[in-house]
Amino acid sequence: MCLLRWHVSVTSDLPDDMIIFVHGPDYHQNLTLSFGESMSWYFCQLGRVYYGEVTWGSKNTTVVLYNDHIKRFCGRFKFGIQHCYWLITTDGFYVSRHNSPFPNSDWHFEAPWS
């Protein structure tokens, strides 16, 4: 039985296609996302780490999509599904517990493109 289930969603706000490879202990996915497209997955166990390797044109960055640091920007820590939304923009990577319009104060800037 899973008391705290996590849902992680990644959306592209980039003008051109991007490639994302998400990997963790029980999930591996390689996708091309166009502007406005999303990908997502669910998991139950805390203490997991999920990474995203993102390529956009000549830029390539690896970002942690979920760990103990990131979950504090996402979960409300009630029973049920906890949401973690990511938005990838031209200036970097934003995370929020709400899938709200961007930009606003719900979105936390987590990492720039390297």
Whether the pLDDT of residue 1 is over 70: the answer is no
Looking at the DSSP assignment, which residues form a beta bridge with residue 4? 80
pLDDT tens digits for 41-83? 999 877 789 999 999 999 999 999 999 899 889 877 677 788 9
Please give the pLDDT value at position 3.
73
Please give the pLDDT value at position 77.
65
pLDDT tens digits for 18-36? 999 999 988 899 999 999 9
Please give the pLDDT value at position 94.
98
Report whether 106 contacts 100 (CB < 8 A): yes
Tokens of 107: 């979105």
Q: What is the pTM of this model?
A: 0.93
In whole angstroms, give the CA distance from residue 114 to residue 98: 26
Which residue ranges form the domains of the chain, and what is each CATH number? Answer: 4-111 (2.60.40)
pLDDT tens digits for 90-107? 999 999 999 999 999 999
